[in-house]
């Protein structure tokens, strides 16, 4: 059980490509992920600034409609609201297209997979119109810059990001003794962020914390907020005064934000966090039941290095348990579509990202049918990892339908299926898939057969 380029590209990257070479070694993979982010340069996606700008314009347009309600000017005013909403949907389609093109053309597939993994670990999504399109911008600001850095830095960035504060209702949380709560008794404490921070982001389900820890942490976090103009802010009038005790340690003082950063750093370095992160990494990249020794090795390196993620990845990529022969995890729908586009060598001119209706038809809607509404997991625990959650009759049928119909809609000329087998599956392509590709009556049918195969559905 050892490194092979094809297995590295499929299991730890975005799949094989006829244009981008597979990684030559573990050192190549680590060097790439710690180096310049070439895919982000080639296919740029902005942070939250344009989202907030559009939200402010839409809010201004909505306010204008109230002034004209019941008059002849109302329809014209409301049309401006619809224009702003269409503009946001169109821009979101462009950003999603850029995210897909990164998977299709990146020279560093490991980075894309890591960005996706950590975005899911720190799940945050929008619950109002404009923020519903913001998960990709959240990834760009809070996750992507830290994939090869320290876990603690990523934790800070994710927990204080406006989308997280919105998603878990933290921006509205006011400490019971805060100035806001005293003026308005209806404003109260919200424990959502504190609970998910302990249960999902750090210590894990069943971790060494109590409801008292959740409550005290929620009181400590009160004041984390954001505005559409400034982004993240600390609202002192929502903060709860006094010392708080979390996991037996006291936090407080005049600089409440510094105390919040201190508790985040302590949670990031906790042994339970190391175990939780190690388990999740191993399950996501290797299999539903990974080698126990692999998890222990990852946990140990996390603790020894203070959460240096690049060092943790080094252990994962050099461990024999990571290279078990044969396909492992079922690809999540976004990974299935992304690796298909990569095998097809989809070019930017072929991505219909400036046509929102076609993006919905070719990508958004099929992903929903496959069980993955892009950017919107069912809950803060993110997408499921178990294979059986993805391979149900309806969801498998959606994959097959996409594989047989969509490639020809994206590319006018499809590759020869006999060559496409190697582009998609490499040296480990099963003979029955090679035979089916040779026997196909047309290129669309042959390409569809390869993409539909059980071998291509797994990492």
Q: Based on the domain organization, do 189 and 110 belong to the same domain?
A: no
Residue 399 lies in a domain: yes
Do 255 and 362 lie in one domain? The reply is no
Domain boundary at 268, 287, 303, which?
268
- Same domain? 120 vs 182: no
Q: Do 352 and 242 reside in the same domain of the chain?
A: no
User: What 3 state SS string does the chain have?
Assistant: CCCCHHHHHHHCCCCCCCCCCCCCCHHHHHHHHHCCCHHHHHCCCCCCHHHHHHHHHHHHHHHHHHHCCCCCCHHHHHHHHHHHHHHHHHHHHHHHHHHHHHHHHCCCHHHHHHHHHHHHHCCCCCCCCHHHHCHHHHHHHHHHHHCCCEHHHHHHHHHCCHHHHHHCCHHHCCCCCCHHHHHCCCCCCCCHHHHHHHHHHCCCCCCCCCHHHHHHHHHHHCCEEEECCCEEEECHHHCCCCCEEECCEEECCCCHHHHHHHHHHHHHCCHHHHHHHHHHHHHHHCCCCCCHHHHHHHHHHHHHCCCEHHHHHHHHHHCHHHHCCCCCCECCHHHHHHHHHHHCCCCHHHCCCCCHHHHHHHHHHHHHHCCCCCCCCCCCCCCCCCHHHCCCHHHHHHHHHHHHHHHHHHCCCCCCHHHHHHHHHHHHCCHHHHHHHHHCCCHHHHHHHHHHCCCCCEC
Q: Which region among 7-11, 49-53, 323-327, 344-348 has the lowest average model confidence (pLDDT)?
A: 323-327
pLDDT, one tens digit per residue, over 304-317 is 999 999 999 999 99
Higher pLDDT, 78 or 164: 164
Q: How far apart are CA 421 and CA 360, in angstroms?
A: 28
Query: What Å distances lie between residue 354 and 90, 92, 348, 394, 407, CA to CA?
Result: 7, 10, 11, 30, 18
* Angstrom distance (rounded) from CA 75 to CA 72: 7
Check whether residue 130 and residue 237 sit in a common domain: no
Residue 97 has pLDDT above 80, yes or no: yes
**Tens of pLDDT, residues 230-261:** 999 999 999 999 999 999 999 988 899 999 99
Asked if residue 321 belongs to a domain, the reply is no
Asked if residue 310 belongs to a domain, the reply is no
Regarding whether 11 and 134 lie in a shared domain, the answer is yes
Q: What pLDDT does 323 receive?
A: 95
For position 70, what pLDDT does the model report?
79
Q: What is the pLDDT of residues 132-143, one digit of tens each?
A: 989 999 999 999
Residues 41, 128, single domain; the answer is: yes
* pLDDT over 70 at 218, yes or no: yes
Residue 226 clears pLDDT 80, i.e. is over it: yes
pLDDT digits (tens, 9 = 90+) for 176-202: 999 999 999 888 999 999 999 999 999
**pLDDT in the model for residue 446:** 97
Residue 274 lies in a domain: no
Whether 298 is covered by a domain: the verdict is: no
- How does residue 332 score in pLDDT terms, banded at 50, 70 and 90? very high
Is 107 in the same domain as 12?
yes
Q: Is residue 128 part of a domain?
A: yes
Same domain, 40 and 146: yes
Confidence band of 364 (pLDDT split at 50, 70, 90): very high
> What integer pLDDT is reported at residue 1 of this predicted model?
63
* Whether residue 172 sits in one domain with residue 131: no
**How does pLDDT run across 391-419, given as a tens digit for each residue?**
999 999 999 999 999 999 999 999 999 99
Is the per-residue pLDDT at 81 higher than 90?
Answer: no
241: containing domain: 168-268
Q: Are residues 238 and 118 in the same domain?
A: no
Asked which of 268, 294, 319 is the last residue of a domain, the reply is 268
Count: domains in the chain: 2
Is residue 190 domain-shared with residue 142, that is, in the same domain? no
> So what's the pLDDT on residue 72?
79
Question: Is 307 part of a structural domain of the chain?
Answer: no
* C-alpha–C-alpha distance, residues 383 and 123, integer Å: 9
Distance CA 385, CA 381 (A): 11
pLDDT > 90 fraction of the chain, expressed in percent and rounded:
90
Average predicted confidence (pLDDT) for the chain: 95
313 in any annotated domain: no
Share of the chain above pLDDT 70, in %: 100
- Last residue within a domain, chosen from 268, 302, 337: 268
pLDDT tens, residue by residue, 39-71:
999 999 999 999 999 999 988 988 888 888 878
Instruction: Give pLDDT, residue 312.
Output: 98
**pLDDT tier at 76, thresholds 50, 70, 90:** confident
């Amino acid at each position: 059980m050892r490194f092979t380029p094809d297995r590295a590209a499929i299991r730890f990257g975005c799949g094989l490509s006829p244009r981008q070479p597979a990684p030559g070694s573990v050192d190549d993979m680590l060097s790439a992920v710690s180096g310049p982010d070439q895919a982000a340069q080639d296919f740029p996606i902005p942070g939250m600034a344009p989202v907030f700008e559009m939200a402010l314009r839409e809010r201004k347009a909505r306010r204008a409609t109230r002034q004209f309600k019941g008059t002849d000017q109302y329809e014209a005013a409301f049309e401006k609201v619809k224009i702003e909403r269409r503009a946001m949907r169109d821009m979101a389609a462009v950003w999603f297209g850029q995210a897909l093109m990164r998977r299709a053309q990146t020279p560093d597939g490991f980075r894309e997979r890591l960005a996706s993994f950590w975005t899911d670990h720190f799940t945050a999504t929008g619950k109002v119109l404009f923020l519903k399109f913001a998960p990709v911008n959240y990834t760009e600001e809070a996750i992507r810059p830290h994939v090869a850095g320290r876990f603690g830095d990523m934790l800070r960035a994710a927990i204080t990001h406006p989308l997280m504060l919105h998603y878990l209702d933290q921006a509205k949380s006011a400490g019971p003794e805060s100035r806001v709560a005293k003026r308005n008794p209806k404003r109260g404490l919200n424990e959502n962020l504190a609970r998910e921070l302990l249960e999902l982001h750090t210590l894990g389900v069943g971790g060494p914390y109590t409801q008292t820890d959740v409550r005290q942490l929620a009181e400590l976090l009160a004041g984390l907020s954001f505005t559409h103009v400034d982004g993240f802010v600390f609202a002192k009038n929502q903060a709860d005064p006094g010392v708080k005790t979390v996991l037996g340690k006291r936090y407080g003082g005049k600089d409440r934000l510094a105390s919040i950063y201190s508790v985040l750093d302590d949670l990031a370095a906790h042994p339970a966090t190391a175990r939780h992160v190690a388990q999740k990494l191993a399950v996501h990249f290797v299999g539903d039941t990974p080698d126990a020794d692999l998890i222990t090795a990852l946990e140990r390196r996390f603790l020894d290095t203070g959460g240096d993620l690049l060092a943790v990845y080094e252990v994962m990529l050099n461990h024999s348990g990571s290279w078990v022969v044969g396909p492992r995890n079922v690809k999540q729908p976004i990974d299935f579509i992304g690796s298909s586009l990569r095998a097809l060598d989809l070019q930017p001119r072929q991505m219909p990202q400036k046509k929102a209706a076609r993006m919905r038809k070719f990508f958004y809607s099929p992903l929903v049918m496959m069980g993955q509404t892009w950017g919107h997991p069912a809950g803060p625990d993110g997408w499921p990892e178990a294979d059986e959650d993805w391979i149900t009759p309806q969801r498998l049928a959606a994959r097959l339908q996409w594989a047989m119909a969509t490639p020809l809609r994206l590319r006018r000329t499809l590759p020869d299926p006999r060559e496409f087998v190697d582009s998609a599956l490499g040296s480990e392509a099963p003979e029955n898939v090679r035979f089916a590709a040779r026997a196909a009556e047309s290129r669309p049918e042959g390409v569809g057969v390869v993409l539909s195969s059980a071998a291509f559905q797994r990492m």
